[in-house]
């Protein structure tokens, strides 16, 4: 249990000399010296987001499969769509919420939470309302034994906006799903015909169920261009009113790999990514990536993408239309690498939970950015 991450696997994802990044391959997230290799752990994973078509769903599905592939002898991963009921009916050593919405205030065992980004907390003015659940999330995360984030950028946001102790944060990058890979010309042609796509096009990938000011989709659609723009992802009524774009709706992983493979370039219009999984997926399919400049995406793919000034859709389109193959390969990091690092987080969280709390008075209560008081 808790196998350390291979050093070679980390070289393509992050640099150990920078803040937070070292925690992928460096203690405290390696198995503690006092941790028995024979100790087993039963992990309860909240699988509610697994059906989500976006990045959170992708993370949940890929991590669950990789955790089971890399589990040690006797270790077990239980997935549930009803964590509260499962808490009562099964004994688990540790609970993992793979999304911020799944963070629980009262967990009967040590809890780990994955935070993909903190846009909802950082940009409250762009949300129509601030629910009680949103205001409770900071307290739930503060009570977690450990927090996993995909980039140092999100780690820094978590410290600034949730006031988390940096020592409790592990940076574990994400990876392309093995199902999303470069497709043959024949597969690309068949997918284009089935989806009604032109021979050459730019592609954008993400959720279109609701307008999101961070993504600048309306502005991107209105920007003049020579190549057609294909928007891939589940779409709401508002997206159907966007001018001069091709909507595919949600597609299968096989079709998504073919759409990436056939695209002239992937465009990423948002500078507020938590990781930028479509960029890694496009590179896995051999497709150039052109993106609005943002710290998390630069951290995730480095010089493998072309960056333009954030908010400049004209520059984004022009750079995408100038893109040339071959695209560089994605970072040398897999979901199995991410799972091994996650097992190490579990091991450390359980070790920390087993240590007796120091005696003494309770610490003074302070106010969080969410308006709640927490110790």
Task: Answer yes or no: do 15 and 141 share one domain.
Answer: yes
Task: Answer yes or no: do 119 and 193 share one domain.
Answer: no
Q: What is the mean pLDDT of residues 95-120?
A: 90
pLDDT value at position 83?
A: 82
What string of DSSP letters covers 87-113?
HHHS--SEEEESSGGG--S--SS-EEE
Q: What is the mean pLDDT of residues 74-103?
A: 86
pLDDT value at position 229?
A: 98
* Euclidean distance between CA atoms 232 and 258, whole angstroms: 12
Q: Name the average pLDDT for the chain.
A: 84
Residue 164 lies in a domain: yes
- What tens digit of pLDDT does each residue of 189-229 get? 999 999 999 999 999 999 999 998 889 999 999 999 999 99
Q: Using the predicted structure, report yes or no on whether residue 244 has a pLDDT greater than 60.
A: yes
Q: Using the predicted structure, report yes or no on whether residue 165 has a pLDDT greater than 70.
A: yes
Task: Answer yes or no: do 87 and 235 share one domain.
Answer: no
CA distances from 70 to 1, 243, 341 (A): 9, 47, 10
Q: What is the mean pLDDT of residues 63-76?
A: 95
Q: What is the mean pLDDT of residues 338-351?
A: 95
Closest of 55, 17, 69 to residue 280, by C-alpha: 55
Residue 2 lies in a domain: no
Q: What is the mean pLDDT of residues 290-298?
A: 96
Closest of 252, 287, 250 to residue 268, by C-alpha: 287
- Percentage of the chain modeled with pLDDT above 70: 79
- Global pTM value: 0.84
Between 367 and 325, where is the model more confident? 325
Task: Answer yes or no: do 22 and 171 share one domain.
Answer: yes
Q: At what angle do helices 185-195 and 253-262 cross, to 10 degrees?
A: 110
Between 41 and 251, where is the model more confident? 251
CATH number at 74 reads 3.40.50.2000
Question: Which structural domain range is residue 123 located in?
Answer: 7-175+334-374
Task: Answer yes or no: do 160 and 27 share one domain.
Answer: yes
Task: Answer yes or no: do 153 and 225 share one domain.
Answer: no
Residue 74 lies in a domain: yes
Task: Answer yes or no: do 305 and 208 share one domain.
Answer: yes
Structure tokens, 307: 């960056």
Structure tokens, 332: 């040398």
pLDDT value at position 362?
A: 45
- What tens digit of pLDDT does each residue of 170-195 get? 999 999 999 999 999 999 999 999 99
Task: Answer yes or no: do 277 and 347 share one domain.
Answer: no
Task: Answer yes or no: do 49 and 161 share one domain.
Answer: yes
Task: Answer yes or no: do 74 and 49 share one domain.
Answer: yes
Task: Answer yes or no: do 45 and 129 share one domain.
Answer: yes
State how many domains the chain has: 2
């Amino acid at each position: 249990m808790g196998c350390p991450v291979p050093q070679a696997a980390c070289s393509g994802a992050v640099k150990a000399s920078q803040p937070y990044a070292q925690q992928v391959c460096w203690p405290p997230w390696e198995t503690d010296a006092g941790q028995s290799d024979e100790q087993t752990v039963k992990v309860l994973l909240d699988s509610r987001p697994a059906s989500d078509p976006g990045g959170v769903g992708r993370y949940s599905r890929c991590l669950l499969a990789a955790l089971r592939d890399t589990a040690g002898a006797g270790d077990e991963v239980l997935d549930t769509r009803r964590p509260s009921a499962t808490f009562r009916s099964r004994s688990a050593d540790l609970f993992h919420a793979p999304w911020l919405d799944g963070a629980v205030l009262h967990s009967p065992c040590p809890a780990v939470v994955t935070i993909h980004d903190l846009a909802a907390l950082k940009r409250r003015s762009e949300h129509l309302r601030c629910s009680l659940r949103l205001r409770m999330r900071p307290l739930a995360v503060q009570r977690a034994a450990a927090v996993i984030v995909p980039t140092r950028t999100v780690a820094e946001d978590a410290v600034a906006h949730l006031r988390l102790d940096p020592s409790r944060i592990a940076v574990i990058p994400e990876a392309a799903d093995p199902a999303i890979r470069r497709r043959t010309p024949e597969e690309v042609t068949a997918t284009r015909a089935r989806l009604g796509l032109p021979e050459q096009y730019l592609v954008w990938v993400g959720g279109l169920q609701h307008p999101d000011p961070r993504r600048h989709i309306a502005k991107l659609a209105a920007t003049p261009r020579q190549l057609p723009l294909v928007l891939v992802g589940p779409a709401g009524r508002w997206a159907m009113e966007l001018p001069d774009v091709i909507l595919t709706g949600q597609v299968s992983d096989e079709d998504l790999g073919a759409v990436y493979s056939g695209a002239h370039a992937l465009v990423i219009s948002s500078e507020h990514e938590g990781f930028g999984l479509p960029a890694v997926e496009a590179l896995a399919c051999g497709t150039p990536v052109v993106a609005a400049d943002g710290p998390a995406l630069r951290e995730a793919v480095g010089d493998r993408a072309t960056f333009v000034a954030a908010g400049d859709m004209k520059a984004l389109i022009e750079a995408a239309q100038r893109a040339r193959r071959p695209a560089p390969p994605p970072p040398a990091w897999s979901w199995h690498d991410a799972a091994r690092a996650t097992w190490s987080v579990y091991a450390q969280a359980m070790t920390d939970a087993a240590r007796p709390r120091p005696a003494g008075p309770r610490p003074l209560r302070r106010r969080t950015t969410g308006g709640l008081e927490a110790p």
